[in-house]
Amino acid sequence: MIGNTLENTPLKIAIVAGERSGDELGAPLMKSLKSINPSIEFVGVGGSKMTSEGLESYFDMSEISVMGIIEPLLNLRKLLKLRKGLKKFLLHHKPDIFIGIDSPDFNLPIANFLKKNLQIKTIQYVSPSVWAWRKGRIKSMERSIDSVLTLFPFEETAYSNSKIKTCYVGHPLSYKIDITNMEIESKVQNSIALLPGSRKSEILLMGDLMIKAAKKLKLMNPNYQFFMPLSDSSHLDLFKEDMEDFIHISYENSQDILKKSSMAIITSGTATLEAALSFTPCIAVYKTNWLSYLLIKPLLHIDSFSLPNLILGKKILPELLQSEATIEKIISSVNLLEDRGFEFYRNEFTFIKEKLKAGGADKASVEVLKLLN
């Protein structure tokens, strides 16, 4: 019905992504929208995947790819200048609708600007973490956002008392990570994946801790083998600890490593979800610089921080945050995973995989076009 109504209508969609994950969400959404209405034009900001789908990008998204609290402050002047230029660019193009993908601190002010100046509908694809902290942010979002497309089922409840529409579309990794029963049964015993993170700041905080824990675990059980995928060879220089020959460094896709491993120690983030979808029990570990942690801690209102635990609404995976992220607690958490056994986790991970398959880009595209009707 939507396709027939809008098939011959020239539409211009503004779409902005500021991270690689946003580029990976944006491209399938654009493709799905074009399958409904081939004449749609896209303007905004994205990476290589979105530009290959026809996006006219004002600048490359790497220009605004900064994380945390301190890093954006250090780049504030640059970010404000880029955002000011982007506002003018989008105002000139007069889009029919705006979609901000993740990066809420950058995208929400743009949505507010376009709503005021063009009176268009606005969408935030990927909810800000209002379910975890800064819940009062929803009130300010009501002035700039009409609809939020959520990746996780637990996010919708945060908007239950808000006038913002929500639509749960599921997570793309639930479709992307496909593992067979044979692959699950063929996991390498006593293999532990070490994922210190993809950013230099994460590796500096977590890398040596994981290496030290691996060395101690190897002394306790000589059968352990460790596999550490790194995204860049230059990241090796960030480790102060000597690498032992039982720690296998590679530049493989981390998902391939997780599929083969029987356990994992992971810097918390999307990688914990990748582990669950790869049927690999993991320990979620997270440390940030103490200034960022002291600023964030009073605003937190969650009991868990790893995605699998949040999706299930219970703590099945060990979580070690800040001062709890020690060698001793990593070792005791490895023992906990082994004591519980794989079948316990297999059932929970199966539930997560099915729960996250909620329609993806096709469902999101229908919601986008509904707003225009």
Rounded Cα gap, residues 46 and 107, in angstroms? 12
* Same-domain check for residues 199 and 344: yes
Kindly indicate the confidence band of residue 2, based on its pLDDT and cuts at 50, 70 and 90.
very low
Q: How is residue 192 written in tokens?
A: 């532990």
Per-residue model confidence (pLDDT) at position 9: 53
| Same domain (yes/no): 161, 219 | no
Q: Is the domain of 14 the same as that of 121?
A: yes
On the 0-12 / 13-18 / 19+ scale of CB atoms within 10 A, 106 is: buried
pLDDT for 92: 95
Q: In this structure, are 166 and 185 located in the same domain?
A: no
Mean pLDDT of 326-346: 96
Number of domains in the chain: 2
pLDDT of 206 above 80: yes
Whether the predicted pLDDT of 24 surpasses 80: yes
| Closest listed residue to residue 195, CA positions, set 235, 160, 143 | 235
Q: Measure the CA–CA gap between 287 and 268, rounded to whole angstroms.
A: 9
- Regarding whether 134 and 32 lie in a shared domain, the answer is yes
Contacts of 185 (CB under 8 A, 6+ apart): none
Same domain, residue pair 140 and 191: no
Same domain assignment for residues 112 and 238: no
Q: Are residues 79 and 43 in the same domain?
A: yes
Q: Same domain for 134 and 204?
A: no
Query: Coil, strand, or helix at residue 100?
Result: strand
* pLDDT above 50 for 126: yes
What average pLDDT does the segment 285-297 reach? Answer: 71
**3-class SS at 319?**
strand
Same domain, 151 and 272: no
- Per-residue pLDDT at 45: 95
Find the domain containing 44 and state its range. Answer: 2-170+358-372
The CA distance from 325 to 320, in Å, is 5
Q: What is the CATH number of the domain that holds 213?
A: 3.40.50.2000
User: How many other CB atoms sit within 10 Å of the CB of residue 188?
Assistant: 11
Q: Give me the chain's average pLDDT, please.
A: 89
Mean per-residue pLDDT for 251-271?
Answer: 93
Contacts (Cβ under 8 Å, ≥6 apart) of 115: 98, 122, 143, 144
